[in-house]
Structure formats: structure tokens, C-alpha cells
Amino acid sequence: MILFSLFFVSANAQSEDSLFIRKLADEILLNSKAYENLRVLTKQIGGRLAGSPQMVKSEQWGLKAMQAAGAGKAWLQECMVPHWVRGGNDKAYVLANSSKIAGKKPGAKKELDVIALGNSFGSIKPLTAPVILINNFEELEEKKDSIKGKIVFYNYKMNPTYVRTFQAYGEAGQYRGAGPSRAAKYGAAAVIVRSMSHSTDNNPHTGSTRYIDSFPKIPAVAVGLRDADWLSDLLQKGNASVTIHTHGKFLPDTIGHNVIGELEGTEFPNEYITVGGHLDSWDNCEGAHDDGAGCVQTIEILRAFKALGYQPKRTIRFVLFANEENGLRGGNKYADEAKAKGEKHIFALESDAGGFTPRGFGFNVSAEGLRKIQGWKNLIAPYGASELTQGGGGADIGPLNRTQGTPVAGLQPDSQRYFDYHHARNDVFEAVNKRELDLGAVNMAILLYLVDKYGL
């Protein structure tokens, strides 16, 4: 009898939840402003790297968008950000010094489609050197005595057998992050990295590199996949020299901001839930999937909660983070200030994996917390995010987890196309599908509603 009534109570709660969740989903699927917001952010502002004029414009846009969505309070949280500039057009070409390049006369150039890595230092003048093909770090170590004075071409391929592309990106990403300094350690003059992508086009993909101060900060570019294959073939047949000309440099740090909107909690106003994406993007694209999508989904959840008159029990913060791509200063500032003010952050959610069809959420939470979340599966799964698994989060909310152990989660959309666009010139508004974008917001809103109502 007792068991039966317990079942009855929980079944009632479930049906009450499923009714509200249906309303929440309908509100977003019928009235979402996410796609139009994304159009304005990408087409009217465009790429918005930390320190750029577009960064300032996007902060003002974000503040207005939070207010328009109905934030009880909205403000800019100041943080210093690095100011790296590309400084010009990145170029690289192979000189046809013999008839080795099919279709090219001796003395002709074969241009490579390249882009300098973020935070890399330019060559200033054109730099010409023989290229050495290096397929992985083991090979770099084997050939360390042949590196001096050469351009190291890391041709490490993302592993196509991993169904989850982020796993392949995680492995390949170290060639972009650590590759230049590891090559500089053995005297390399510059580095060319195969772009981190499975794409069939030739667009080069940028992203941050991390120099180690004890080695020379050598120029570094990423090359498109077709050109990477072509160069690799050429080097397997014989020697080749490449000329690289890049201009990257740092200007003094400048003032940037996280954009924050807030809905105050009615029962536990001192317990905070954060949801967000990052407002900055690389300069070579519109930053539509990375991470305009996460920003407009965040604003959309706020709009939908307000439109339905939903009053959260806990305080929900909607945050567009500054400088994720090449510094993480926004995420660090947010966590530092939360700690300094003694705020208790019980959960944080980020969308920074593209505006594609939601498949699930990855969590960094206790086993007990995960069991509680998995108990909500039948409420969330009908909207797409059925995989609720351990392992995940987001770069900008990582600092909250590190400073106060806040459980974190990341939206996990279908990942098959993300690295076709990530940090490349084709990451534009047109690459985002409205329904997929809206469904991401729907699933995030549902998870937030459940965490707000039941805690973690």
C-alpha cells in the first residue's frame, strides 16, 4: 500500500513534469528567436576574437539580447583578455624547383591553403626551408637529429574509426597545441600542421597553439586536408622546400567582458545554476557553430522560461563567456568571482559542440548525481538527448568545477559534421540548421528545469 502510494506520487510528479516540459519544448519550437539572433551575431558582427572591435560589438549585442529575452538583471563582468592579431594574410607555397610538381613549370609556385595557428608568432619576412614529413610524435623523436633548420610538417590524421569525433580531435589536437614547441626544441624553423578535421574540402582549420617559453616561438600554420595529402605524397617522392609568410603577434591585453543575464530563484536564491556558451570566435569565420550556437541557445532558454512565466527555485545565470578560444579568461574570471563572493554553484551546463541535433549530455558529476539524472531519462529522451553519460562539461565551466567542485555538463549534439566547420572559414550562419539549433535549446532547457526543481 505504501509502495503503491509512493509510486502514485512519483507518477504524478512525472506527469506534471512531462506536461511542463511539453510546453517548454513547444514554446521554443514555435517561437524561438535563436536562429534570428544567430543571424544578427554572425552576419552583422561576424568573427569576434578577444580584443577585436567585433568582440566589443558582440558584448553590447549580447547585453541587449539578454534584456530583450527578459533577464531580471543583466550585466557585463569585466575581465582582461589577450589580444592576438593575425596581422595579415597567411601564405605558404611550394616552389617547383624541378619538374616534380605535376603541371607546374620549374620556378612556379604551388600555393597551399593555410592559416596561422592562433597565438602563433609570425615569420614577419617570408621564411623558406626544406620540409620534413613527420606523421606523429614518435617519429619526431626518432628523427630529432634531422629537424634543425627545417619546417616540420605534422601529418597526423584524426582517427576515422572513432564514432565520436571529439575523441579523434582530442588526440590530434596535441599536434596543434604542443607540436610547434616540440619541433622548436630540436631546432625547427617553422611548423605546418594537418588540419584537425575529417572534411573532404581543403579549408584549413585554425585554433590555439601553446608555446613553451624555453624554446623559440616559431611560426606555425594549419593546412587544408587535400593540400596535406598532396604535400605528403610529394615528400614521399623526394625533397621539397616551402615558403611560409605569417604575421601573428600579441598587442597588450585589453578589457573584455562576460555577458550575464539572471533569473533570481524564489526558494533558494543563493544556489546558482549556470548555463552558457562562449561569445568569442576565431577571426577567419563567423563563429556560427563555434560557438554562436551555444550563445543563442542560452539566450533562448531564458526567453522561453520568461515567456512561460517560469519562476525558478534556484537562481539561474545565463552567461556568454569571453575568450574561450585563446585564453579562457572569461571562464576563469567567472569562477574566481563566484568563489570570492562565496556563491554556491550547484550545476553548470555548456553548449560548445555545435548547433547540431542533440544526442545527449556528458556529465562530470558524482555517481549518485548521475543516477539521479538518469532517472529523468524518460522525460528528456523524447526530445533527442537520450545519452546521459559520465564524461563531459565545457571549457568555460571547467574552472567552476575545479574551484568549487560544481557538477558540470555539456550538450552533446551529433558530432559527425562539427569538425567540417570548426575553426574554419566555412563556420558560417548558413551551416546551421534552425530546427537542430532549436532542439539543442529545448533539451538544455529541460535539463535545467529538472535540476532547478529537484537539485542534484
Cell numbers 563566484: residue: 338
Q: How many CB atoms lie within 10 A of CB 43?
A: 13
Q: How far is the CB of 353 from Zn ion (least distance, A)?
A: 8
- Smallest separation (angstroms) from Zn ion to the CB of 59: 17
Binding mask 89-128 for Zn ion (x = CB under 5 A): ----------------------------------------
- CB 202 to Zn ion: min, Å: 22
Q: Which stretch binds Zn ion (CB under 5 A): 14-22, 45-53, 287-295, 448-456?
A: 287-295
The number of residues that bind Zn ion (CB under 5 A) is 3
Q: Which of 113, 283, 343, 352 binds Zn ion (CB under 5 A)?
A: 352
Taking the complex as a whole, the smallest distance from the CB of residue 344 to Zn ion amounts, in Å, to 27
State which residue, 219 or 292, has the beta carbon closest to Zn ion: 292
d(C-alpha 309, C-alpha 305), whole Å: 6
Our CB check for Zn ion shows the closer of 59 and 290 to be 290
Nearest distance, CB of residue 257 and Zn ion, angstroms:
18
CB of 188 to Zn ion, least distance (A): 29
**Which residue stretch of 260-268, 286-294, 384-392, 398-406 sits at the interface with Zn ion (rule: CB under 5 A)?**
286-294
- Of the pair 273, 353, the CB lying nearest Zn ion is at 353
Q: Cβ closer to Zn ion: 150 or 278?
A: 278
Q: From the CB of 422, what's the least distance to Zn ion, in Å?
A: 8
Residues 289-348 that bind Zn ion (CB under 5 A): 290-291
Q: Which one, 343 or 396, has the nearer CB to Zn ion?
A: 396
Does 427 engage in binding with Zn ion (CB under 5 A)? no
Q: Which is nearer to Zn ion, 84 or 383 (CB)?
A: 84
Give 257 or 289: the residue with its C-beta nearer to Zn ion.
289
CB nearer Zn ion, residue 183 or residue 299: 299
Q: How far is the CB of 352 from Zn ion (least distance, A)?
A: 4
Q: Which is nearer to Zn ion, 352 or 420 (CB)?
A: 352
Nearest distance, CB of residue 108 and Zn ion, angstroms: 39
CA count, 13 A, side-chain hemisphere, 171: 14
What are the residues binding Zn ion (CB under 5 A)? 290-291, 352
